[in-house]
Amino acid sequence: MAVRIDKYLWAVRIFKTRSMAADAIKGGKVKFLGDNVKASKEVKIGEEYTVQVGEIKKTIKVTALLDSRVAAKLVPDYLQDLTPEEEYKSIDRLKEFRFVYRPRGLGRPSKKERRDIEEWFGDSDENT
């Protein structure tokens, strides 16, 4: 069975749609052995790919081929996630600092943003 890389990345839930997978491939965000791949590249068992998804760079190894999308629980049967733990930790750090930095000119923070800022800085003055 031959499976295209764009279809495989969609089927194992790396991307939400197949067109998003194809766009990522065209944008050079999917690499095999350090080189960009084309959407028509056929996936083979044992190959390792590096995929840039948002802020994280995932490294996956193909363990089985499939031609249709599978449930999230079944994804580990078809790929092995080799992404270093530091990548996932860096995403957590970015989420923590999301409310600390506020670009100039955005106006006043919303009520939810204000609460998050207060929680981050430990302001416990609940009487105001």
Q: Which domains does the chain have, with CATH numbers?
A: 5-83 (3.10.290.10), 97-128 (no CATH)
Q: Hey, what long-range contacts does 111-115 have (CB within 8 A, 24 or more apart)? A: none
pLDDT of residue 91: 75
pLDDT tens-digit series, residues 44-67 = 999 999 999 888 899 999 999 998
30-32 and 48-53 strand pairing? antiparallel
H or E stretch at 48: strand 48-53
Question: Running DSSP on this structure, what letter comes out for residue 67?
Answer: S
Residue 7: both structure tokens together? 């279809």
Residue 92 pLDDT > 80: no
The pLDDT tens digits for 13-47 are 999 999 999 999 999 999 999 999 998 999 999 99
Confidence of residue 122 (pLDDT cuts 50, 70, 90): low
Tell me the pairing of strands 35-36 and 48-53: unpaired
With a pLDDT cut of 70, the percent of the chain lying above it is: 87
Residue 121: pLDDT over 80: no
Whole-number Cα distances in Å, 48 to 57, 68, 124: 13, 20, 49
Tell me if residue 25 falls in helix, strand or coil. Answer: helix
Look at residue 116 in the predicted model and tell me its pLDDT: 81
pTM for this one?
A: 0.71
